Amino acid sequence: MRRSEMLSRMLVIAGVLIVLLVPLAVRFYDGQGIVEIHGRMAETGGWSPSAIKAQVGVPLHLRLTSDDVMHGFAIGQSEMAAVDVPPGKMTELTLTFDKPGTYTYYCTRWCGLNHWRMRGTIEVTSDGLGAPQPVSPPLYVTLNLDIDAPHPAPVTPLERPSALRGAAFTALLPPSYLTTDYYRSYSPAQAFNDLRSDPALKSLNNAQLWDIVAFIWQSNTTPEGLAAGKQLFAQNCAACHGENGAGNGVFADKLAAAGEKSSEDMTGAKGMQMKKPVNFTDPANMLGASPALLLGKTIRGGMGTGMPMWGSIFTDEKTWNIIAYLYSFHFTEVTK
């Protein structure tokens, strides 16, 4: 064989190899390989694996499938749209993270009583570049609130307050009541008591002061924010708290019916102390709760009461929108 012929054959072989290997290599080495995740209802194991690792800026390829019913997959605190994970099919997904941290993936379909326990984590690290961003503690911690304590409202309105009527008194209202800080830190009942003892407002009757409370609450939200909160509530909370917030969602009964069984955690240990989902339409309870308290409970969860923790799922903005929506069960014309 002549030297040049051998060389050209080798080049051909090399070329063929490159054609065959490059796509494979790209699949495996441009990222961290391919991770296959199987979804199962929480009672039979949830996601497996339930913890994976990734690196900042390096694509993570996922192949998702379900071993039982239809599940959904989404990453908490991100704008990623949820993808369906049907049984008997592989759904491919590539994710690239631009910040280090622990991300939560969760099921977005109500697949069973313990649907919300279908969660896993992605630990995203960077090569020592850029220290993790310091996180400020949530407001309920700063305010030192006991978010598990009962919070009955010392006063409640006789009729439904109206933000629209309340807006008529803006000229009298000291501006300090309209700050975000004020709204987030106090319950509507506390705000009512503050207004009642304010000399600037002593000409007004109680119903008028409640209208101002509704107006203050309305001023801290927008129609878009409320619409977003309503949608998030319907998707994530209504199954327990009820479509209309009355604490009678379809899962509320099922949780009660499951009785003893529902107090088992995923390992079968009886770690749970199940409670009834809160009725958000009860003024005696809700008007005694500040947005900071409700947000605290929402992000931290009930720690074994059946109330899931949502802090790793929603951004702060989304959670504040849900909280604003919860008060709309009490105030009329809460949007402009």
- Report which of 121, 111, 123 is spatially closest to residue 44, judged by C-alpha positions: 111
Specify whether the CB–CB gap between 60 and 86 falls below 8 A: no
Q: Which residue is nearest to ligand HEC (CB)?
A: 302
Residue 118 interacting partner from Cu ion, ligand HEC, none (CB closer than 5 to 8 Å by kind): Cu ion
Judged by CB, which is closer to Cu ion: 113, or 118?
Answer: 118
**Both structure tokens of 247:** 């604490």
Residue 177 interacting partner from ligand HEC, Cu ion, none (CB closer than 5 to 8 Å by kind): none
Q: Which residues of the chain form contacts with ligand HEC (CB under 6 A)?
A: 116, 236-237, 239-241, 251, 275-278, 285, 289, 294, 297-298, 302, 305-308, 310, 322
Residue 262 interacting partner from ligand HEC, Cu ion, none (CB closer than 5 to 8 Å by kind): none
Specify whether the CB–CB gap between 295 and 138 falls below 8 A: yes
**Both structure tokens of 74:** 């989404």
By CB under 5 A, which span of 100-108, 125-133, 217-225, 305-313 interacts with Cu ion? 100-108
Specify whether the CB–CB gap between 336 and 240 falls below 8 A: no
Specify whether the CB–CB gap between 160 and 330 falls below 8 A: yes
The three-state secondary structure class of 104 is strand
* Cis amide bond preceding 49, omega within 30: yes
Binding-site member from 54, 64, 75, 111 for Cu ion (CB under 5 A):
111
* Distance in Å, CB of 293 to Cu ion, minimum: 30
Judged by CB, which is closer to ligand HEC: 177, or 327?
Answer: 327
* Distance in Å, CB of 238 to ligand HEC, minimum: 8
CB atoms within 10 A of CB 308: 18
Residues that bind Cu ion (CB under 5 A): 71, 107, 111, 118
